[in-house]
Structure 1
Amino acid sequence: MRWTPRHLTSTVLGLAAAALFGGCLEDLPRPSLVDDVRILAVGNTPAEARPGDDVALSALVVDPLGRPRTLRWATCIVPEQGFGFFGGSSETSSSGGNGYGRDDPGSCFTLAAAGEPWARELGSGETATLDVPADLFDDDAALKVAYGLPDDVALPAELRTLFLGVAGVNLTVSLRVEVDGRTLEASKRVNVGLPSVLPDNPSNENPSAATFHLARKVDLVTPPATGTPPPDGSCFVDADDPLVLTRGTRYVLTPLNVPDPQPTYATLLSGSTTDMPFELVYREENWYFSWFSTLEGLDKDGSKASAAPVNTILVPDDAPDSGDLWVVVRDGRGGTAWCASHFTVEAP
């Protein structure tokens, strides 16, 4: 039988409304400006897992006020929402805003409380461990739940092997952050699969080599193409320590170590006939950069490696005496990394 993925009607309507009332969006705060507690990213290592693996979970949660916080973690299988292709994981409700509402039906906490299969809490703490069930693929139950396949569908062995070696199953991780009586929630999908039977489809890795070069725009510096990421997790190679920025000055932020060419990976597209329910298609990775700061002045909220990846920041004349900058890097298929730099601000 042919399976057609479901589509998010609410998302389509939301985009239509945004286009219709686009003039109102100018009044919305820019996502790059961090002036309150935010979940900027959720990450997992390894970027792709196998049944039986222990996956290390972490999050980039920032709060300019430095208030005490509690992080709680849960996992579940949320049916894919039907983007028409399968392969790799994703992250939602984090870098663009403040996260889900607590009662969202897709929350793993909600599903765990309801006793749904594969849904459970993972404990509290700044980090957590997702222990992937070793028997996840002993039968097709998890795969059918993940992709909304009817229970009576029988998957041929060849298709099952291809599916689990290319698309895998995404285990959703939900993160709840409680700060000062408020609760934020974000979600990250951890891709779990079997070794690919395809010779040119290696497992994904997090873009941990990503780092950045900082220079005053007026200096017309030509940045290097590569550099060694600072071991302390800060953003900039060869930067002064402590980092000092000057009011009224524009700085150029250049990504380094971008793979050229980017790796390719296999995905499965929904087929157009009952005889071929899926079609194998290769895609190219692309590093996506999400930029954040406690200062106004970033030129872009986001950029990507394949088109104008460089960003700039103009330090306001009335900037406070210190600030922070974060960059989250995603590869478009579930790999995530980030850096954080604190800086002081001085007069010209």
Structure 2
Amino acid sequence: MRHLLPLPLALLLAASAAAGCAPDFPPASEVSGLRVLAIRAEPPEIAPAGDGSAPARAALDALVAHPLQATDPSRRATVIHLACTPVPGAPDASGCARLEALTDPAALLSGADLAEACAAPGRGRAGALTFAGAAACGALGCEPAVVRRDPADPGSEVTLPEPAYELPSDLSFSALPAGAPERVLGLEVTVIALALDAAPAELAPASAAPDACAALAEVAARLLAEWDLRGHVLALKRVRVRGPEALSPPNANPVISAVRLGGAALPPPGAPPAAIAGGGQDLLPALPGDPATLLEEYVYADSDGRPIETRRETWAFSWFATAGEIDRLVTHGAGEADRYAPAPAGPALVWSVVRDLRGGTAWSAGALATGP
């Protein structure tokens, strides 16, 4: 069936096309609203408990940016993490590989068993979606989400399960035949972050909840109720699960110490901002050591798990700011400078997110102010 546009809308689109109009999107480096700039797993690679080559559990963290953090560094968003665990040998069976199945917050939360989450926080289940924790997240990452179980009782504060993912104890690659690519390449767990522009206290139970698990369920329900009323973001992260015949040692996250502007390290959000003059200046990451010793070597393999060559990591640095203009969204290597032109006046935050292109992630942020 042919679907027709309403006549006024059709005329508007036709006029825009004739005039050569196009939407004026802000640059990707501009933080003009709530954004999840990165999600990190520590460690970035895990392994089944029977393997022993890496831990079976990883802590989860999220970098949540908002333009108002430049004047209020304490601003927090509530982030609920979910995880989708594939079945070895049948990764599509659970829907974890189909992005369209991971974009409806109501469907996602209804599929996660919050009662089970209280019994075993963060533990995955093969072929299923599970709750992986909640946190209050801001300009430098996340902290525990604390809410009152009873709004009338200041002493009823409970801490919601902190974000983490743990492989199910029965997940194994042993059933795969010899030569199966997954035995070398492993598989990926999909972590979904639901970020809402509301502090956890704003989503706390409106009436007394009997226990911490009931409080968690109420926070999740209120997050859903507010989803379309407030700023919100849904973001994904892939966590690597090592195969038993992996060709390289477990990966480690990259590291970054600070953001440097004009040769000086910027103070972190919450500290007095650096007073800077207008005009473009070089933007660089500061690392805690020699890049030559920080970059890891690994064996690169093809899609069948056959080794091709030994490589050294290339770190990519993504840049973001609440105000001013950044020349390039991504630079490569600690010595490749970006260019930042601050806004004429006022405070700003600048972030650098570094990725090792193998699943490892780290970040840093700096505070500055321009003006008289």
Question: Do both proteins adopt the same fold according to a TM-score greater than 0.5, normalized to the shorter chain?
Answer: yes
Q: Taking structure 2 as the reference length, what is the TM-score of the superposition? A: 0.60
Give the secondary structure class of the aligned counterpart of 2:68: coil
Whether contact under 8 Å (1:296, 1:316) holds in the other structure is yes
Rounded Cα–Cα distance in structure 2 between residues aligned with 1:309 and 1:26: 31
How far is the alpha carbon of 1:117 from its aligned partner? 1.9
Q: Please tell me whether the aligned partners of residues 189 and 334 of structure 1 are also in contact (alpha carbons under 8 angstroms).
A: yes
Give the % identical residues.
Answer: 28
Q: Distance in 1 between matches of 2:276 and 2:322?
A: 15
Match of 2:129 among 119, 138, 149: 119
Query: Do the aligned residues in 1 keep the contact of 2:46 with 2:242 (CA within 8 Å)?
Result: yes
Q: Deviations over 1:81-126 (max 9, x none)?
A: xxxxxxxxxxxxxxxxxxx9xx931459646745882321223223
Partner in structure 2 of residue 290 of structure 1: 318
Cα offsets for 1:286-311 (capped at 9, x unmatched): 111110111122111111118x7211
Match in the other structure for 1:339: 364
Matched, 1:312 2:339: yes
Inter-CA distance 295–181: structure 2 relative to 1 (3 Å threshold): closer
Q: Which has the larger radius of gyration?
A: 2
Alignment of 1:8-19 (within 5 A): none
* 1:344 to partner: Cα distance: 2.5
Deviation at 1:31, TM superposition (A): 1.0
Post-superposition CA distance 1:212-250 (Å, at most 9, x none): 4332xxxxx6x9xxxxx99x8x49xxxxx7332334232
- The corresponding residue for 1:181 is 230
Change (3 A) 1:108 1:167: farther
Alignment partners' CA distance in 1, 2:42 and 2:259: 22
Any idea what the Cα deviations from partners look like across 1:324-343, whole Å, max 9, x if unmatched? 11110000000000011122
1:193-342 matches, cutoff 5 A? 193-194=242-243, 198=247, 201-209=248-256, 211-215=258-262, 234=268, 242-257=272-287, 259-260=291-292, 262-270=295-303, 277-282=304-309, 283-305=311-333, 309-317=336-344, 319-320=345-346, 322-342=347-367
* Residue 122 to residue 263, structure 1, CA distance change in 2 (3 Å): closer
Structure 1 residue 278, shift from structure 2 partner: 4.4
Aligned-partner Cα distance in 2 for 1:337–1:259: 15
Q: 1:77 to 1:112 in 2, by over 3 A?
A: farther
Q: 1:78 to 1:197 in 2, by over 3 A?
A: closer
Asked if the contact 1:289/1:327 (under 8 Å) is kept, the reply is yes
Aligned residues: 258
* CA RMSD of superposed structures (Å): 3.5
1:71 corresponds to = 79
One-letter code of the match for 2:130?
R
What TM-score do the two structures reach when normalised by structure 1? 0.63
**Alpha-carbon deviation of 1:209?**
4.2
Query: Match for residue 63 of structure 2?
Result: 60
Which is worse superposed, 49-58 or 204-213? 204-213
Asked if the contact 1:58–1:128 (Cα under 8 Å) also holds between the matched residues in 2, the reply is: yes
Alignment match, 1:42: 39
Contact 1:75-1:108 at 8 Å conserved across structures: no
Tell me the secondary structure at the aligned position of residue 27 of structure 1: coil
Structure 2 unmatched ranges of 5 or more: 1-19, 50-55, 70-74, 89-97, 113-125, 137-161, 198-228
